[in-house]
Structure 1
Amino acid sequence: MSSSDTAYPIGEAGQPWGKAEKAAWLARQVRQRSYASDVLSAIDGLRARLDVSEYGRLDYADGSFPLLAIRSRDWRDELPVMLVTGGVHGYETSGVHGALRFAEQHAAGYAGRANILVAPCVSPWAYERIQRWNPDAIDPNRSFYANSPAGESAALLQLVAPLPGRFLMHIDLHETTDSDESEFRLALAARDGKVFERGEIPDGFYLVDDTENPQPAFQQTVLAAVEKVTHIAPADAHGEIIGSPVVAPGVIEYALKKLGLCASITGARYTTTTEVYPDSPQATPEQCIQAQVAAARAAVDYALAHG
């Protein structure tokens, strides 16, 4: 592998970025799609059947973004809360549209059994720019902790804070893409002044369980539902997926709280992070959205059945 394969056009090798490098990175980010057209308009179409609230607003130099949450209209305090989040990484398109479609097609069907809460696009600036970070070159999905430097993460933490102990399930919808290797992990290494080590993108859908609270039966139930829609990622030659040991077919584990990951924010009994591969020759964008919806439905149904 030549050095040109792992070079990033900003910064000096081995030197973490300062303000100048972050400004240079930000100047390269171009708006490519519309949060208002793609997300806010879709949410507006749900207002007749579901409650919609603004849980925060991100005011950046190049735009202001309302953060919207979708709730069950018949919210009842005695019922468990099921949280579905998408777009923590804005470029992961099926997470956003999977969360929206789940809300549209299925949220009302749980009336009287569960309170459904959906935050479909946690990072709207990054959604518009098909980017992993926010404008400050911060990854929101490593920033879910007190006094978070990421406004996206801080706002979502504030959304769930009034409901301690109420969450039974939280599913966070993500993608793993070819651009993880070609752009985002390269940028991460450059930002942190580290050497980039190329990895392998898994071809298929997989889940990330919590090292501190593994729920293997829950994960396998979600995968069984997804497998009816798209294929499950196999382990690589080392028995791993993205550098982590495969603990069961299609499942790896992370220490969610320690890493500041979104799936850690509720303390729910059942948590998982989905990862689907939209660049697979075996899957279409529509299949990826359907896989996210299938995962969310199976997660809610399992949690309701097992308490």
Structure 2
Amino acid sequence: MSDTIYPIGTANISWNDDEKQQWFDSQNIKRSYHNDVVSLINELTDECDVEQYGELVYQDANYPLFAIKSRNWQNNKPTVLVTGGVHGYETSGVHGAIRFIKTLGRHYSEHFNLVVTPCISPWGYETINRWNPAAIDPNRSFYANSPAPESANVMAYIAGLGVELVAHIDLHETTDTDNSEFRPALAARDGKINTNWNIPDGFYLVADSAKPAAEFQKAIIENVTKITHIAPSDENNQLIGVPQEQFGVINYAARELGLCMGFSDAKFVTTTEVYPDSPTATDEECILAQVAAIAGALDYIASQQ
């Protein structure tokens, strides 16, 4: 695919602080985290425990960070973490996490302790961005002494719970703007040459190459198939430039790359990828696909107990 030249910076030279500031100054608020997300979280307080685990202050705006926990918490139950909005622009991840706990939380809390952090990057949600204001990708920043407060806050919160996670499902999207905006911006920031990848048309999963859990991934794919189509591989049997491990699944070195799904020692981990720009998908279908992914994951784990 053809390359896209980014308007900020000089070819082959990584951005300095002035260029990062230029990028930040070009951003603007497009939607409301408080109206779209916090309002829905507040509706859950009758059935769930809602905890504020941090706050971000960007552009003179305050962004409280919330976790939603199932109420009938018991230490003898396995604990599952669901994260959304690590990349704030990936809308169905945010709303899929909330929809899951709203519609299926009571059912699955009979078997699991549930922890849901639906919007880890609220500034990214409002500005429809992959990065935070410092031009840092939170989903490459899940490691000790993280430079991204979005990542650092949620890692500290989960560590403070003092529980072992059995599973972590991280909800994401792959969009056409990956090629039109985010990959060109990344190449410009790092002083590299951009080469766009083929955007998969459909749902797929990214597993952790250190613990791929193939049957777990397969169970998720099978459940999501009931809602939406699974992305076929390209002519090289790849998805986003990575060899397909099984139908609809690729593997990444999660911890080495600083990915959200890699920060814990959970046995079962996955990153969902919904394609909202498909001509056959709707916003609602994308949300339901995220819910189906979580349900498929938990049904599989429950069957193994």
TM-score, with length taken from structure 1: 0.97
The reply on whether 1:101 has 2:99 as its aligned counterpart is yes
Distance 2:271 2:190 in 1: 25
Partner of 2:35 in structure 1?
A: 37
* % same residue: 55
Partner of 1:175 in structure 2?
A: 173
Deviations 1:221-272 (A, max 9, x none): 0000000100000110011000100010000000100000000122111100
Question: Match of 1:287, as an amino acid?
Answer: E
The reply on whether 1:124 has 2:109 as its aligned counterpart is no
Partner of 2:243 in structure 1?
A: 245
Distance 1:185 1:244 in 2: 16
- 2:81 touches 2:114 (CA, 8 Å); kept in 1? yes
Partner of 1:273 in structure 2?
A: 271
Deviation at 1:14, TM superposition (A): 0.6
Deviation at 1:162, TM superposition (A): 2.9
SS of residue paired to 2:185? helix
Deviation at 1:112, TM superposition (A): 3.5
SS of residue paired to 2:97? helix
Distance 1:156 1:118 in 2: 11
Superposed, 1:226-237 pairs within 5 Å as 226-237=224-235
* Number of aligned residues: 305
- 1:165 touches 1:268 (CA, 8 Å); kept in 2? no
- 1:177 touches 1:201 (CA, 8 Å); kept in 2? yes
Deviations 1:256-302 (A, max 9, x none): 00000000122111100000100001211111100000001111121
Distance 1:37 1:300 in 2: 30
Partner of 2:78 in structure 1?
A: 80
Alignment equivalent of 1:219, drawn from 203, 217, 220: 217
Deviation at 1:165, TM superposition (A): 5.8
SS of residue paired to 1:274? strand
Deviations 1:135-176 (A, max 9, x none): 000000000000000000000101111345621111000000
Question: Match of 1:265, as an amino acid?
Answer: F
Distance 2:192 2:162 in 1: 38
Question: Match of 1:244, as an amino acid?
Answer: V
Distance 2:89 2:44 in 1: 23
Partner of 2:286 in structure 1?
A: 288
Deviation at 1:199, TM superposition (A): 1.2
- 2:233 touches 2:244 (CA, 8 Å); kept in 1? yes
The reply on whether 1:57 has 2:55 as its aligned counterpart is yes
Superposed, 1:176-195 pairs within 5 Å as 176-195=174-193
SS of residue paired to 2:116? strand
Q: Tell me: CA distance 1:164–1:264, structure 2 relative to 1, closer, same or farther (3 Å).
A: farther
Question: Match of 2:271, as an amino acid?
Answer: T
Distance 2:34 2:228 in 1: 29
TM-score, with length taken from structure 2: 0.98
Identify which range, 60-69 or 158-167, moves more after superposition. Answer: 158-167
Distance 1:130 1:6 in 2: 19
SS of residue paired to 1:161? helix
Partner of 1:304 in structure 2?
A: 302
Partner of 2:140 in structure 1?
A: 142
- 2:79 touches 2:163 (CA, 8 Å); kept in 1? no
Identify which range, 275-284 or 157-166, moves more after superposition. Answer: 157-166
Q: Could you say what the CA RMSD is over the residues aligned between the two structures, in angstroms?
A: 1.2
- 1:164 touches 1:266 (CA, 8 Å); kept in 2? no
Question: Match of 2:48, as an amino acid?
Answer: L
Question: Match of 1:37, as an amino acid?
Answer: N
Distance 1:242 1:62 in 2: 37
Identify which range, 121-130 or 61-70, moves more after superposition. Answer: 61-70
- 1:80 touches 1:167 (CA, 8 Å); kept in 2? yes
Deviation at 1:62, TM superposition (A): 3.1
Distance 1:197 1:265 in 2: 28
Distance 1:180 1:62 in 2: 28
Deviation at 1:110, TM superposition (A): 2.4
Question: Match of 2:298, as an amino acid?
Answer: V
Deviations 1:72-112 (A, max 9, x none): 11111121101111000000000000000001111121234
Distance 1:67 1:240 in 2: 36
